[in-house]
Structure 1
Amino acid sequence: MSELVPPATPTAPAAAPTTVPAAPLISLTWTDHVTGRNGHLVVDRLVRGVASGGLRMREGCTLDEVAGLARGMTMKEALHYNDGDPTARYIPLGGAKGGIDCDPRSPEAYGVLVRYLRAMRPYIERFWTTGEDLGLSQDTVDRAAAEAGLVSSVQAVHPLLDDEAAARQRLADAFAVEVDGIGLDELAGGCGVAESVLAVLDRAGVPYAGTRVSVQGLGTMGGATARFLAAAGLKVVAVADVKGTVANPDGLDVEALLAARDAYGAVDRTALGPGDVELPGGEAWLSADADVLVPAAVSYAVDTANQARISARWIVEAANMPVLPEAEALLAERGIAVLPDVVVNSATNAWWWWTLFGDIGADADEAFAHIRRSMRDLIDRMLARAEADGTTPRAAAHAIVADRLPVIAERFGWYG
């Protein structure tokens, strides 16, 4: 699947400069002295002196892309701020993001990653908490961080914890939890995406059984989303990976496909079942006969040209920034709703912090229940706001964030 040229950094909803600055707090580009490859760090905003956001690695990663993702992290953190729950221990952080312009499958990728983390060590030690993102697993980030001399990729948040040792052990225990052979950390985000889909169907009065879904990407996020949706009774009729699209109008055997994935989410085609077909072209998943599309792979997957191929009723953004703004406007004109990434895929980040701060323990059932409650609440708030304002779900999410950021800034401050 080809990646598109990244657009300009998405702009935030209008707000006073003291609440949502148009420019990020910190924006920098690093050049690897060995390979000449570039890496980027953007800190969009601090809360209590700390910002949260993962580190991605992909060929063609740009500073504008990272800036857009950092702004998205500011929004995700704000959306999970629950000032109505006095028992909540997790207080959202600011937003940040890192990115490295390198193919993660390249033989030189790991060395570039280690050198990037060494260069970014002062930021990670003081105010940037990071972790896995597109192209990087948490195991790889942890191994490289240790080699770069870091205590942890999230050590900047340690001073905010009541009991650092207990918190770190709780998170380590959570990462050791497996559900049917898959790590809880690999399932948390997909649980949130799937619950977003189910919440939308419930609001629309659409039964789960018979609802058709097409998923782009069968990696961590896409694979987990497909698994939870299939378990809920939805019919996954198409999935796309780097090789193309596999489809079956009667529904794919999701578990069989997941078992046949390689480390990058590509499915072994010898494992396809009866009735499964390979569709030509890398964008066949867009035009699948489905009610719900879940782009869960690359950014900028839906543009003004290929959006015309979509007939689904809902697009649920499991990936970061998969639908270009101009394409979203055209989709809205055709009555197709886009549920934005800043809400839909926010459970991965939130699960880390709920666990580390102690809102939940290292238990899969407790984690899934907490994720489902939180995502239901977010989706319902967003869609209710969209209906009240007569606007799109994304505009409603931006409006909620614009309401919350001044409250967060006043209560907790930028620099702690």
Structure 2
Amino acid sequence: MTHNTQKIRVIHIITRLNTENTDGAAMMLYKLMAHTDRHRFEPIVISLDGEAELSNRIRAHGIDVYSLDMHHNITAGWQIFKLTQLLRNLQPDIIQGWMYHGNLAASLANLSLGNHHAVLWNIHHALPALNKEARTTRWVIELAAKRSSTPEHIIYNTYLSADQHTALGYDDQRSLVIPNGFDTQLFAPNHYQRNAMRHSLGIPADAFVIGLFAHYHPVKNHALFLEAARLLLPHQPNVHFILAGRGVTENNPKLQYLLNKMPTKQNLHLLGGRKDIPHLMNALDLYTLTSSYGEGFPESVAEAMACGIPCVTTDVSDLARIIGNTGQCLPVQDTTPSALAFAWLEWMNAGDAWRQEVGSRAMQRIQQGYNIQTITDQYQKTYQRLVEDQQMSRMTLVTHLP
């Protein structure tokens, strides 16, 4: 139904609102909530899990958040009944699922409501191999594939993810790709941040700085980055490396072997988890992501580009499409430490003027195609079309009644 205020009420059902191990879905939902046109849309969020950090951050925007503590048993009849009752009271125009459990819960609840509402699914997960997923997650993925003709659209944030899920049996006629969006005011070139961050880390103003900001996980392949750094340092003593992310510290036993091989540790800055990523980005001359597989949407690359920092990455996910001609993607299977070190050296030798020109193109690319307001508008146009289609269907039905 459309309410007296004429606002379109969109109920978002997400598996959980914590920002760890969610492929960026929770944070993208938060950004979408923060930038939604509240004159035309009325968003409400339902988390199948308990309260989390983002719950109150979303509420701070005047948006209701319900936490149901049920995501481990979403297919239990009484759990779906609880969700159905809440949806019946909230009277949505559109139900949008986020993440596998949230998608399935959205469709099952809508089935209980007589399939009267338009449903959208949202998938932010790369799926290189189903057998790498936990058993319960595999079961939900496979069950969702069988029900993938029920949503109006399945929204993926990368073309790679859309292809991977289609190969598993997801309805390709429902596929719609909307990439992640970025705050291009928060992530933007800032010379003050650059100088202040370098000074705080003891990095000389004229040093060449390369960064990698990602939590420690085998898929991120920190070993490749550190081995390449080890090879480059003896030949370029003025290069510094900044690494940040959960578990990326000298105390991590899985990194100590690599760190002990370094010719010097003075040029290596392992910062662990940080909240000041825009400041760290601006301290760089070059950003690198060394993931070997399994990336969803690599947000750190787009954030670096928004700050005017050229990127040299492995060719995973949609990075070649995102970076375009504003950086370099190296074939995963051919990227040895020496190949990465050589690529870094080429970018260093290209000179400041060239890097600044490429960085400017990278910034414009994010501002034009990936800024959060542009991406929010894509979601909102999708909602508007769905409501208009529903209204047209109802009018057609009334016209044909005897």
> TM-score, with normalisation over the residues of structure 2?
0.31
> TM-score, with normalisation over the residues of structure 1?
0.31
Higher relative contact order (CA 8 A, sep 6+): 1
